[in-house]
């Protein structure tokens, strides 16, 4: 009876972890879209930089951290079994982290040059997260 309970509890924990990971991924998609929308709607660079540094960047980093953390927990639950899907998720997570660093460290002063640069990064992030999410959800 004890072994049955242990397996049931592990299955429930794994199922809950997958649900939390999916919710985090959807929230990350929404946050990337919000970042893109705000970028395109702002006209003044200083106001945008202030909003980005105070609200958008910390919120995006927190959500990305949540997705990475739940992914690490799920990898531990699978006894660190690496599959093609897991490696793709790890690579996309690293790409998201580095692209957000690159976007936040922009040194230019002109909003007209920053907008296309940041829009391209956000679009790549959105499409890559969407593609990997659809791949995992239909699997």
pTM above 0.75, yes or no: yes
| CA 78 – CA 72 distance, rounded (Å) | 10
b/e for 19-44, b at 16 or more Cβ within 10 A? ebbeebbebbbebbeebbeebeebee
Q: Which helix (H) or strand (E) holds 33?
A: helix 2-41
- What would the two tokens of residue 58 be? 């910390």
| CA 47 – CA 20 distance, rounded (Å) | 34
Query: What is the separation of C-alpha 125 from the centre of its chain, rounded to a whole number of angstroms?
Result: 8
Q: Residue 50 above 60 pLDDT? A: yes
Q: Residue 4 above 60 pLDDT? A: no
- Per-residue pLDDT, 30: 96
| CA 51 – CA 3 distance, rounded (Å) | 52
pLDDT 10s digits, 76-135: 877 777 889 889 999 999 999 999 999 888 877 788 889 999 999 999 999 999 999 999
Q: pLDDT: is 3 or 97 the higher one? A: 97
Structural domain harbouring 52: 2-138
Indicate the number of domains in the chain. Answer: 1
Q: How big is the chain by its Cα radius of gyration, in Å?
A: 18
């Amino acid at each position: 009876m004890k072994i049955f309970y242990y397996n049931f509890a592990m299955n429930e924990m794994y199922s809950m972890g997958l649900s939390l990971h999916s919710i985090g991924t959807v929230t990350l998609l929404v946050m990337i879209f919000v970042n893109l929308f705000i970028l395109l709607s702002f006209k003044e660079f200083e106001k945008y930089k202030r909003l980005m540094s105070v609200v958008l960047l910390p919120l995006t980093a927190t959500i990305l951290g949540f997705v990475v953390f739940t992914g690490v927990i799920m990898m531990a639950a699978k006894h660190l079994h690496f599959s093609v899907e897991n490696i793709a998720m790890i690579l996309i997570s690293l790409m998201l982290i580095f692209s957000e660093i690159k976007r936040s460290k922009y040194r230019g002063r002109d909003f007209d040059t920053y907008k296309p640069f940041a829009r391209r990064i956000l679009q790549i992030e959105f499409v890559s997260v969407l593609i990997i999410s659809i791949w995992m959800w239909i699997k």
